[in-house]
Amino acid sequence: MSKVLTADELYEARLKSGVPLFNDQKMKLGVFGSNCSYGVMASLAPSTYEVSWDHTVKIAQQAENLGFEAMVPIARYKGMGGESNFNGENYETHTWAAGLAQATEKIMVFSTIHVPAKHPVVAAKESVTVDHISGGRFGLNLTMGWYAAEMGMFGVKQREHDERYAYGSEWTDILKKLWTVEGEFDYKGKFFDLKRLEAEPKPIQEPYPVLVNAGNSPAGLEFCARECDFNFIAFATPEEAKETAARVRGISRNHGKNLGILSYGNIISRETEKETQELYKQILDMGDWSVAESVSKGLGSESGSFEQIKAMQERFITGYGGYPLIGTPEQIVEQLIKISEAGVDGMLLGFLDYHEDLKFFGEKILPLMKQAGLRY
């Protein structure tokens, strides 16, 4: 049977495996959402970004050449409507990760998975396959499924919020056992009754691939602290990030762990404030506001004031609700310093034009991050 590792043993195993997200960079970096049409910005503003394999590989290789630690996709099967049908054109994330694993050498390649839509036996096998293709650079972003229209494509009824995490806990337990237990075993829980499970080969990573989750509710935080390596937090200000990071780490310590903290932000930057604000205005002016309105209703966010609703919709237009990193390169780095000081270990970044904006990031922002001690 598998051995339950202590937090220290798990951390040492990660270091031994050479997992990029466990390196000693002060601010880890990743690319988020480059597998879906329009990426993370629901705007029709001009961009060279496209959902094609050649373009996808160029983005990943560019991020790797800049020293980024991770490529993290969005799991999407159904577009969000509107003029753009936002994210409606997309790549499935396990096969996407497998392709990028073959096309890269150092960067981590993640899959994002809707737990209710895939059986854990299948997910375990797919994940091990990509871990082997990548030489131990695979990670799995677990989501419990929030987009009801999308879940309906699988015939899956949305469970009550906390029950999604209860289901996810059993699902993840099965996954880990398949990755670590030698020989056959049975599994019986509230949601699963499975017989004679087995899986070979085992992952290259020790003891299994890195797991991340974006749970920020009480049930989500408990799940993430218990089952994952990193929590993918959301915040509106660096002060809120500091409070959330401290709360997450406090909960993880109750489980004998020290959970890493990641978040995501959206870079809108040019050399001058004038150019930056013109780009920001263009993104908003050409935003697919019908999508933003639909999403805000779906998340139950229509009960606030007009200003609150508008602000939330603007954040969706400019980057899926991620933290808006808007400004000159100097201003961007000032914001990243505050986020780092708040206790955030890494940022996954979205862009309007991934390929071109990554080039700008590498030339103008990354050197300033190195000067500030956020990267080396």
Provide the sign of the torsion angle of the four alpha carbons 106, 200, 176, 97, taken in this order. positive
Tokens of 239: 């002060």
Confidence of residue 302 (pLDDT cuts 50, 70, 90): very low
Give per-residue pLDDT as tens, 325-370: 999 999 999 999 999 999 999 999 999 999 999 999 999 999 999 9
**C-beta contacts of 83-89 below 8 A and 24+ residues apart:** 83/44, 83/288, 83/290, 84/37, 84/38, 84/42, 84/43, 84/44, 84/288, 84/291, 85/37, 86/37, 86/38, 86/42, 86/288, 86/291, 87/36, 87/37, 87/38, 88/37, 89/36, 89/37, 89/51
Give the CATH number of domain 7-284+323-371; options: 3.40.190.10, 3.40.630.10, 3.20.20.30, 3.30.450.20.
Answer: 3.20.20.30
Residue with the two structure tokens 């919020």: 161
CB 336 within 8 A of CB 325: yes
Question: What would the mean pLDDT of 162-189 be, rounded to a whole number?
Answer: 96
Residue 299, pLDDT score: 56
Question: What would the mean pLDDT of 122-149 be, rounded to a whole number?
Answer: 93
Tell me the C-alpha distance between 185 and 187, whole Å.
7
State the pTM of this model: 0.93
With 90 as the cut, is the pLDDT of residue 264 above it?
yes
Residue 343, pLDDT score: 97
- The chain-wide mean pLDDT, for the chain, equals 92
Residue with the two structure tokens 């749970």: 215
